[in-house]
Amino acid sequence: METNNQNEHVHLLIIGSGPAGYTAAIYASRANLKPVLYQGIQPGGQLTITTEVENYPGYPEGIQGPEMMVDFEKQATRMGADIRYGMATSVDLSKQPYTVVIDEEKTLTADAIIIATGASAKWLNLPSEQRLNGSGVSACAVCDGFFFRGKEVAIVGAGDTAAEEALYLSKLCSNVHMLVRKHEMRASKVMQDRVLKTSNIIVYWNSETEEVLGEKKVEAVRVRNNQTNTTQDIPVSAFFVAIGHQPNSGIFEGQLDMDKEGYIITTPGSSKTNVEGVFACGDVQDKIYRQAVTAAGSGCMAALDAERYLSAKFH
């Protein structure tokens, strides 16, 4: 139970409450590590902003994202995890035990830490995009493409991920209207070639999204050509945003090894970071798969790595 002690010590601290954090909490509780988990500002993580999840095993009829995350939390609580509302606002990983400040006021020390802070999709920040989010607007083709089988869809983005997602959608949807802001793509040559050779991907160069149209669900996208300054409405049932993700790793900057985009680097095949006793799992260290099931799997890895580390150090 949480105490009023401003300098509480915990054996294992888990930061983040998405599929990775809760799975780590389930495993760590069952290993008797008495984990304390801080949920952050989005209890349940990214799946709380989506509707139907159909690809997480164990739910044959599919499930609403927020409901699924309540199940994760209940399971972690039942196993004994101490789940708390609060945000890690700064950390000191330079000496053991590690120090973590919660909400800029409470200081904790921890023998080991599991970081499961996820990543956030970048959006265009159009009001219509936000209004129709979950009603045809999505930042994840692998998650939501299936719902638009045989339909016309649009995707905005020009990097490798956008190219990959456009190719993924081209196998499900009748046509993929790909909106590229410049006269060229950032994607690698090989990905561009694949996109340009796919007959049902139609690329619109120099094209900016002005508005996503539709009352209750996406019906079209309004696109402006920034060379000719003309607009056109393209009828589509879904609008995919593939302009990148931002890993939530800011508070660890300068203390943990990261790649240039800010993803925490882990030793391949493990959840170990460059700091002993600090583990990372889920989307904050994975820019390739970014799925609930892979996040959960890596949360399991982090708990097992933490258990081995703690039992070797404090046996």
Ligand X SMILES: Cc1cc2nc3c(=O)[nH]c(=O)nc-3n(C[C@H](O)[C@H](O)[C@H](O)COP(=O)(O)OP(=O)(O)OC[C@H]3O[C@@H](n4cnc5c(N)ncnc54)[C@H](O)[C@@H]3O)c2cc1C
Q: For residue 178, what are the β-bridge partners?
A: 155, 203
Residue selected from 41, 95, 216, 253 as contacting ligand X according to rule CB under 6 A? 41
Span 83-102, contacts to ligand X by CB under 6 A: 87-88
Task: Show the tokens assigned to 69.
Answer: 């995350």
29: tokens are 């509780």
Separation of alpha carbons 175 and 191, rounded Å: 18
Which of 82, 92, 111, 144 is catalytic? The answer is: 144
Q: How far is CA 143 from the centre of its chain?
A: 12
- Told to check if 172 binds ligand X by CB under 6 A, we report no
Q: Does the annotation count 111 as an active-site position?
A: no
By CB under 6 A, tell whether 35 contacts ligand X.
no
Which of 71, 82, 140, 160 does the annotation list as catalytic? 140
Query: Does residue 140 have an active-site annotation?
Result: yes
Q: Is 53 in the site for ligand X (CB under 6 A)?
A: yes
Q: Min. distance of Cβ 286 from ligand X in angstroms?
A: 7
Least distance from ligand X to the Cβ atom of residue 235, Å: 23
- Is 291 a binding residue for ligand X by CB under 6 A? The answer is yes
Per-position x/- string for 206-245, each x denoting binding to ligand X as judged by CB under 6 A, each - no binding:
----------------------------------------
Active-site residue, 71 included:
no
In the complex, minimum distance from the CB of residue 91 to ligand X, in angstroms, rounded to a whole number: 9
Out of 111, 290, 302, 307, name the contact with ligand X by CB under 6 A.
290
Judge whether 180 and 153 are in contact, CB under 8 Å.
Answer: no
Provide φ and ψ at 101, rounded to 5°.
-100, 130
For the four alpha carbons of 112, 261, 163 and 148, in that order, the dihedral sign comes to positive
Total chain residues near ligand X (CB under 6 A)? 41
Query: Is 55 an interacting residue with respect to ligand X (CB under 6 A)?
Result: yes
Q: How far is the CB of 211 from ligand X (least distance, A)?
A: 20
Asked if 251 interacts with ligand X (CB under 6 A), we say yes
Q: Which residues contact 103 (CB under 8 A, 6 or more apart)?
A: 86, 87, 89
